[in-house]
Amino acid sequence: MVPTGSDCLAANTRLQRCINISRIYAAAGPCIPIKRRIILLTDYSLRFDHIAVSARTLEEGAAHVREYLGIDMPSGGQHAAMGTHNLLMSLGPDTFLEVIATDPSASPIQRTRWFNLDNFSGPARLGTWIVNVKDLMQSCADLPVELGPANKITRGALSWQMAVRDDGSMPFDGAFPMLMQWPDGPHPAARMTDLGCRLEQMTVVHPKAAEIQQMLQGQLDMANIHFEIGDAMSMRAEIKTPNGIKLLK
Residue 207, in any domain of the structure: no
Identify the domain boundary among 166, 191, 216. 191
Q: How confident is the model at residue 7 (pLDDT cuts 50, 70, 90)?
A: very low
Query: pLDDT digits over 145-169, tens only?
Result: 999 999 999 999 999 999 999 999 9
Confidence (pLDDT) at 32: 36
Report whether pLDDT(36) > 50. no
pLDDT classification of 25: cutoffs 50, 70, 90: very low
Quick check: is 73 in a domain?
yes
pLDDT (average), residues 219-230: 96
Q: What is the pLDDT of residues 8-24, one digit of tens each?
A: 444 444 444 443 333 33
Q: What is the pLDDT of residue 31?
A: 43
Percentage of the chain exceeding pLDDT 70:
83
Is the pLDDT at 179 greater than 70, yes or no? yes
For residues 97 and 187, state if they share a domain.
yes
- 117 three-state secondary structure: helix
Strands (E), the chain: 47-54, 75-79, 84-90, 96-102, 125-132, 150-155, 158-163, 178-181, 198-206, 225-229, 234-241, 244-248
* 125 is a domain residue: yes
Between 9 and 181, residue with greater pLDDT: 181
Residue 71 phi, psi dihedral angles, 5° rounding:
-125, 140
pTM for the predicted model, two decimal places: 0.83
Half-sphere exposure of 29 (CA within 13 A, CB side): 8
Percent of residues, the chain, with pLDDT higher than 90: 82
* Total of domains in the chain: 2
Neighbouring CB atoms inside 10 A of 59's CB total 12
Residue 31 sits in the same domain as residue 141:
no
Whether residue 30 lies inside any domain: the answer is yes
The Cα–Cα gap between 20 and 137 comes to 32
Query: What whole-number distance in Å separates Cα of residue 132 and Cα of residue 112?
Result: 22
Q: Which has the closest alpha carbon to 211: 160, 156, 145, 159?
A: 145
pLDDT digits over 104-127, tens only? 999 999 999 999 999 999 999 999
Structure confidence at residue 43 as a pLDDT band (50, 70, 90): confident
The residue segments making up the domain with residue 174 are: 47-191
pLDDT tens-digit series, residues 88-101: 999 999 999 999 99
